[in-house]
Chains A and B, each alone.
Chain A
């Protein structure tokens, strides 16, 4: 198998505060290979966005990387500072944010914003940048790109704006895209289009994608592999089909059971009892044990095992036959 584009090893993010240090990301490890979409799923506050921000070096102080390593195309990047990190952003790592209505500068035309990004990272002329901007807009499916290049963001609909945002994130041809809830702010019908677009671009260009979402439907639709996060830790990591059909971590199982399916009609949805712990009150042992129906003494005492691919961070993972 090819060398991963992104490799995260034991990543921890800490936020020091007056009432004590919290760890929104705690010992997370995963890889993303070229052309692969890794879905990172979890509840609000599970640390999925925080991990993405750590990778692109946009943690808001005082949040900082406290431990672990981040490797991009074989280069270690977690210790990069200032200018060195800036040169990576946009060029090697692109990012797509949640709300396309606020992601674009309202006072600059989209052509300006595209050219500006390319001129920052690529050694090309203004004319060339403009040509490539039009091509980039065409690629993300903006009709009449040549005429619309001088339009301003307010002249586009939400879905079209998200396409522009994706064009911006991709215009310097980065090898990794971090898409942080890219469809959450969009209509359902537009969501599917944007997901299809991301999938197509990822396949055609061999870009690795970190798709951060809380929507299991989006994961099922788009991701090749999935990382389930809970209270800053990785709960389960594996192939999307394996994880969705045969979850091995009780939390993933609970998540799947609480996802509505059209085939189930109006049956009552499953609910995981309790709520995810606040980050300053993560319990000892396995963070999920107070809500886990299978919890035993070991779960309360020993921290759940840190995991690699295809495993669940659980002392007593659900065996495949138990599910079926």
Chain B
């Protein structure tokens, strides 16, 4: 198991290196930050001086190497636009995004699995068919449209929930949380539904189809022939087998939730890293963009690592180092 984890960590590091290289090389084509920073009134010397100051006069490999060695020490440079260290800005913004992603991720996983199991067990029931039809909405509507619709209904028409922002936050150390105040929780509802709805319907449909497949297996038939209770068959025997493929997708989807928070954050003006990234793109703020992409890929890779380790606990066939194994 330890050898497996070490191998996966090394693979993950390689993935990060490649992501970093790709991201970094792409930024060379998004535009010249110097243009934005100096405005209309500038001289050739100004441009030259700034390029030198930012290290933009050096060759690409040198720039990338510098970026990597600094990044490894947690230093992502200084934002061109705000003039503050990127790490500081990200740290400030990250709690908002992580809280939003966590809430909508939990919502998507819990409801997705529950609805998936329900629609699989009662596959001919009226309610199950209704949920399945309704889930098409979640799969087919784009995120921003769902957000705008929710704002229209619950903020504009009904006036129940705020349409933008995070509400009041409480500072705990460096972490600013909106989970402890009423207005913070209220502000969280619409964005987390918007962000999690697609993932929820995806997980639900996947759980349903996997579960229907598992329920056809011989060992379920044998479990029935042994007179086990329906609850034990559905939740102990069937659900566990269903989760093996579902967990892979859930892992990818949780990563996607963090990455796709960009759209939701833009719609709801949520002060997280996604909104930061959009602003950075508009301003060609390369250090911020690079740091953001690295952050997202670290999360993706980390989640996948967790998923791989989870497999060990669920599927005994993978525990190859067990005594008596093949």
Chain A residues with a Cβ under 8 A of chain B: 56, 58, 86-91, 94-95, 97, 99, 102-109, 116-117, 120-121, 148, 151-152, 154-155, 165, 168-169, 172
Q: How far is the CB of B81 from chain A (nearest CB, A)?
A: 52
B227 touches A89 (CB 8 A): yes
Contact B241 A169 (CB under 8 A): no
29 of the cross-chain contacts (CB-CB < 8 Å) are A58-B224, A86-B227, A86-B230, A89-B226, A89-B227, A90-B225, A95-B222, A97-B218, A97-B221, A99-B218, A102-B218, A102-B219, A103-B218, A104-B219, A105-B240, A106-B219, A106-B317, A107-B241, A109-B316, A116-B228, A117-B228, A120-B227, A152-B316, A152-B317, A155-B324, A155-B326, A165-B222, A169-B225, A172-B227
Asked if B237 lies at the interface with its beta carbon under 8 angstroms from chain A, I say yes
| Besides A58-B225, A91-B227, 6 new A-B residue pairs in contact (Cβ under 8 A), listed by A number | A90-B228, A94-B226, A106-B316, A116-B228, A120-B229, A169-B225
What residue of chain A has the Cβ atom nearest to residue B237's Cβ? A105
Given known A102-B219, A107-B241, contact A120–B232 (CB-CB < 8 A): yes
A90 lies within 8 A of B218 (CB):
no
| Neighbouring B residues of A109 by C-beta, 8 Å | 316
Q: Give the distance in Å from the alpha carbon of A58 to the alpha carbon of B228 in the complex.
A: 13
Question: Cβ of B226 and Cβ of A107 under 8 Å apart?
Answer: no
Q: Which of A58, A121, A168 contacts B221 (CB 8 A)?
A: A58
Interface centre among B219, B229, B232, B240 (most CB of A within 10 A): B219
Q: Please measure, in the bound complex, the distance between the C-alpha atom of A104 and the C-alpha atom of B241, giving whole angstroms.
A: 12
Q: Which residues of A contact B106 (CB under 8 A)?
A: none
CA distance A248 to B186 in the complex (A): 83
Contact A155 B325 (CB under 8 A): yes
Contacts of B316 in A (CB 8 A): 106-107, 109, 152, 154
A107 adjacent to B227 (CB under 8 Å): no
Chain B residues with CB under 8 Å of A56's CB are 225
Residue B315 CB within 8 A of the other chain: yes
Contacts of A151 in B (CB 8 A): 324
Instruction: State the majority secondary structure of interface residues on B.
Output: helix
How many B residues have CB within 8 A of the partner chain?
27
Is B217 on the interface with A (CB-CB < 8 A)? Answer: yes
Most A-side CB within 10 Å, residue of B221, B315, B326: B221
Q: Looking at A56, A116, A168, which has the most chain B CB atoms within 10 Å of its CB?
A: A116
Q: Within the assembled complex, what's the spacing in Å between the Cα atoms of A104 and B317? A: 13
In the complex where A97-B221, A97-B222, A151-B324 touch, is A107 in contact with B228 (Cβ < 8 A)?
Answer: no
A56 and B224 alpha carbons, distance in the complex (Å): 10
Within the assembled complex, what's the spacing in Å between the Cα atoms of A282 and B326? 50
Contact of B226 among A99, A148, A154, A168 (CB under 8 A): A168
Nearest CB of chain B from residue A54's CB, rounded to whole Å: 13
A148 to chain B: closest residue by CB:
B324
Contacts of B322 in A (CB 8 A): 155
The CA of A152 and the CA of B225, in the complex, are separated in Å by 20
Decide if B180 is an interface residue (CB 8 Å cutoff). no
Chain A residues contacting B91 (CB-CB under 8 Å) are: none
Picked from B218, B219, B227, the residue with its CB within 8 Å of the CB of A88 is B227
- Smallest Cβ-Cβ distance to B314: which chain A residue: A107
- Are A107 and B315 in contact, CB atoms less than 8 angstroms apart? yes
Chain B, 105-140, contact with A by CB distance < 8 Å: what is the 0/1 string?
000000000000000000000000000000000000
Residue of B nearest to A144 (CB): B324
- Within the assembled complex, what's the spacing in Å between the Cα atoms of A169 and B226? 7
B218 in contact with A95 (CB, 8 Å):
no
Q: Complex Cα distance A89/B232, Å?
A: 15
**For B219, what are the chain A residues with a Cβ–Cβ distance below 8 Å?**
102-106
Taking the closest CB of chain B, its distance from the CB of A52, in whole angstroms, is 10
Taken together as a complex, chains A and B put the C-alpha atoms of A157 and B223 apart, in Å, by 20
* B218, closest chain A residue (CB): A102
Give the contacting residue for B223; candidates A99, A105, A154; CB below 8 A: A105
Instruction: Tell me the B210-256 residues at the A interface (CB within 8 Å).
Output: 217-219, 221-230, 232, 236-237, 240-241, 244
